[in-house]
Amino acid sequence: MTKVMLKGVLKTWKEDRGFGFIKPDNGKRDVFIHISSLKGASRRPVVGDVIYYQIAKDSRGKFKAVRAHIDGVAIIDEEVKTSGVPKIRIGSKEIIAIILGLLIIAVVAVIIYAG
């Protein structure tokens, strides 16, 4: 298994069967991906999603994506058993949006207060 995260675009997805194929950015062969590799994703994948993944061999010696996540999609940790509330990991795009929103609120507050 590779420890490096690879990047590709979801080329095909069979929703009824829970698998599809990723077209790697490096131009090599398409990589099989199963829904179980996307544990904790807050939504199901759709064709065109950018996927980050690692590579492993399956029981038949074929390569497959493992430890995958969809770019820009929150990952939910299932910790309901211990805390009663699932944890949500926020991606970099969401963090930037939150910071910009807070900055806008601060600027508006300063304008109103100073005015």
Determine the CATH number of domain 6-73: 2.40.50.140
- The DSSP string of 81-106 is HHHSS-EEEPPHHHHHHHHHHHHHHH
Sketch the domain layout of the chain as residue ranges: 6-73, 76-114
Is the predicted pLDDT of residue 75 greater than 90, yes or no?
no
pLDDT tens-digit series, residues 29-67 = 999 999 999 988 889 999 999 999 999 998 898 889 999
pLDDT at 81: 41
Given a cut of 90, whether residue 106 has pLDDT beyond it is: yes
What is the arithmetic mean of pLDDT over 76-100?
70
Asked whether 7 and 24 are in contact (CB, 8 A), the reply is yes
Instruction: Extract the tokens encoding 94.
Output: 């969401």
